[in-house]
Amino acid sequence: MASQKQFPNFEKRNGLLIAIIQDADTKEVLMHGFMNRAALWLTRRERTVWLWSTSQKRLWHKGETSGSVMEIRWLKADCDGDAILIGVKVGGKGDACHLERRSCFDQFISQDMITDRLIFSDVSDFFDADDSFEDTEDELTN
């Protein structure tokens, strides 16, 4: 049997854990961020997501400005102890992304076969739930 690594392992990434935030019910990945010891401690104590902002070098309570506070449903550690998967229920408008989107992961990436460049497309470019499915016979046969 393989030995289980100790959680949390803050040494691997200079005092930070990778935090992957997932909707606890739908399993949709909403965002990722980083946690230092204080962020993990606050997350466990308050049962809401706290992260370490690597750009602003400060603790950040997710939803502090947007109102979309993330309530913890469960926490899971990865096998190396250097990442945490957090199941949440998002409050407020339900936006996890700072761009007021449900998820930060809402762009499909494809590749232009001629230029070999990557193409980023918004999920809404592929399907609009408001589109009508009422096709006329002429549209279906032409």
Give the pairing type, strands 107-111 and 83-90.
Answer: unpaired
- pLDDT for 17: 96
Domains of the chain in sequence order: 17-90 (3.10.20.810)
Which residues are paired to 22 by β-bridges? 29, 87
30: left (phi over 0), alpha (psi -120 to 50) or beta: alpha
- pLDDT for 131: 45
Residues 81-115 have pLDDT tens digits of 999 999 999 998 888 888 888 898 887 777 777 77
Give the pairing type, strands 70-77 and 17-23.
Answer: unpaired
- pLDDT for 26: 96
pTM value is 0.74
Residues 37-58 have pLDDT tens digits of 999 999 999 999 999 999 999 9
